[in-house]
Amino acid sequence: MLDDIPQEEYLLKGNTACAGCGAMLALRYILKAAGQNTIIVNPACCSTVCQGTYPKTAYGVPVLNIAFAAAAAAADGIASARRNKGKNIIVFAGDGGTVDIGIQALSGAIERNANILYICYDNEAYSNTGMQKSGSTPYGAITTTTPTGRKDSKKDIDLIIMAHRPKYMASASAAYPKDLYEKVRKALTIEGTKFIHVLCPCPSGWRYSTEKTVELGRLAVRCGMWFLYEYEDGKVKLNAPTKAALKRPAPLADYVRPQGRFKGVNLERLQKEVDEEMDRIRALAGIENAKEASE
């Protein structure tokens, strides 16, 4: 199934990521999809650290590291220089740099239809600084700034992005690398702003043992905590794993139990949120999809 994915590696060995890092798993496939003709823009986030320390770098493509709030604008600056026509300009930004501090620059870039691919790798907290609450932290999750669990709910960046009507938008998961690879490939054929939101489990922040990254990434989709879909021409198209999950979701407890961050969560309230989100995504995908899902 992974046969057509290139052998070339642009995320090199010896990078300084944590063991089991979902973001680096995602980045590995994103770079395989994008290839050599790519410039990465990194705001402050885990991946600035994962590159390793000067004079070495673990990325096989050029990288411009930039201030936290500036990634989308800096990428637009690169894309706007005629000399960079035909190059893949990709922002690789964490959830904090996307849904919180970087949202203004991102909003501006989509509005201008900047010719960039913006990827938000979402580990649902400020993981680089040691796991503080971000706008993307889900209800009930323990972080160092929500030590008894977050009391309010995750900001839905996807709906905010969709309101900008970008050329292409997708959600993906590090646990579905082939799907992610294909979405990146597709996005890079489209002129204008593309946005891909990738769930990237984080063993140290979510407090689970490192070998469970893929398992938890898949469970997030199966229990309806994360959806896989694409938004194109004003329409939402659900991908197969999410269609299946909407039909028969896995028990939420299977996803929540192995994670230390959900210790003491009110599972009933979380389930209520998940149910509401599932209804919302059904509505977004259109009534036909909702019927398909319940058939």
Partner 1 sequence: MKKMATGNQAAALAVKESNVEVVAAYPITPQTEVVETIASLVETGKMNASYIRVESEHSALAACIGASASGARAFTATSSHGLLYMHEMIHWAAGARLPIVMANINRAIGPAWNIWADHSDSLSQRDTGWMQFYAATVQEVYDTILMSYRLAEKVCLPAMVCLDGFILSHAIQPLDVTPSGDFIPPISLPHALDTKNPMSYGNLTGPNDYFKFRRMIHDAMKRADKECREVEREFAERFGRKYGPVMEYRTDDADTIIVGMGTMAREAEVAVDLLRKEGLKVGSMRVRQFRPFPRLGLEGKKVVALDRDCSYGAGGILAQEIRFHHDVPVYNIIAGIGGQDVRYEVIAELVRKARPEGEFWLGVD
User: Which positions lie near partner 1, rule CB under 8 A?
Assistant: 36-39, 41-42, 48-49, 51-55, 57, 59-67, 69-84, 87, 104-105, 107-108, 111-112
Neighbours of 88 (CB within 10 A): 23
Taking the complex as a whole, how short is the minimal distance between the CB of residue 56 and partner 1, in angstroms? 9
d(CA 79, CA 59) in angstroms, rounded, equals 20
Shortest distance, position 80 Cβ to partner 1, whole Å? 4
Residue with tokens 């052998």: 7
Chain mean position to CA 189? 20
Smallest gap from Cβ 62 to partner 1, in A, equals 4
Minimum gap (Å) between residue 105 Cβ and partner 1:
5
In angstroms, give the least distance from the CB of 231 to partner 1.
22
| Cβ count near 113 (within 10 Å) | 15
Q: How many angstroms separate the CA atoms of 70 and 104, rounded?
A: 9
Residue of 33, 47, 1 lying closest to 172 (CA atoms): 33
CA quadruple 22, 27, 32, 37: dihedral, nearest 10: 180
Sequence-distant (≥ 6) Cβ neighbours of residue 154 within 8 angstroms: 124, 135, 136, 137, 138, 139
Q: Which is nearer to partner 1, 12 or 267 (CB)?
A: 12
> For residues 78 and 274, which CB has a smaller minimum distance to partner 1 in the complex?
78
Residue among 90 and 236 whose Cβ is closer to partner 1: 90
Give 10 or 227: the residue with its C-beta nearer to partner 1: 10
Q: How far is the CB of 294 from partner 1 (least distance, A)?
A: 42
Give residue for tokens 């990194």. 42
Phi, psi of 122 (to 5 degrees): -105, 105
Nearer to partner 1, 38 or 259 (CB): 38
Question: Taking the C-alpha atoms of 97, 75, 31 and 16 in order, what is their torsion angle to the nearest 10 degrees?
Answer: -50
Nearer to partner 1, 84 or 153 (CB): 84
Q: Rounded to the nearest whole angstrom, what is the least distance from the CB of residue 137 to partner 1 in the complex? A: 25
- The answer to whether the CB of 213 falls within 8 A of the CB of 177 is no
For partner 1, the closer of residues 117 and 293 by Cβ is: 117
